[in-house]
Amino acid sequence: MSIGEVKAALGEASQLLDQGRTIVEEVGESLDEAAGLMLVTLYDSRREEAEKARKAVVDAVREVTLTMRVITSAQKSADEFGRALG
């Protein structure tokens, strides 16, 4: 694979990461909205199902946050590698 081909592949990967970022951001926004409604609905409930639902939302928010960090890191690494290639 030539340097030009590697640069092209990095450019394509960066575009795909941008698309992924957009999708994950949309998921995060929808999750925030759903979580807000759920927390209002389950306010003051001590039922086991409510506790499980709250934990699931916290876990989902954490996963969205971690996914955004991975995407950011991957883009940063790809950009740095592309610059190193010249």
Whole-structure pTM value: 0.80
Domain count, the chain: 1
How does residue 13 score in pLDDT terms, banded at 50, 70 and 90? very high
14-30 tens-digit pLDDT: 999 999 999 999 999 99
* 3-class SS string, the chain: CCHHHHHHHHHHHHHHHHHHHHHHHHHHHHHHHHHHHHHHHCCCCCCHHHHHHHHHHHHHHHHHHHHHHHHHHHHHHHHHHHHHHC
Question: Which domain CATH number covers 7?
Answer: 1.10.287
Structural domain including 76 reads 3-85
Report the share of the chain in percent with pLDDT over 70. 100
Question: What does the mean pLDDT of the chain come to?
Answer: 93
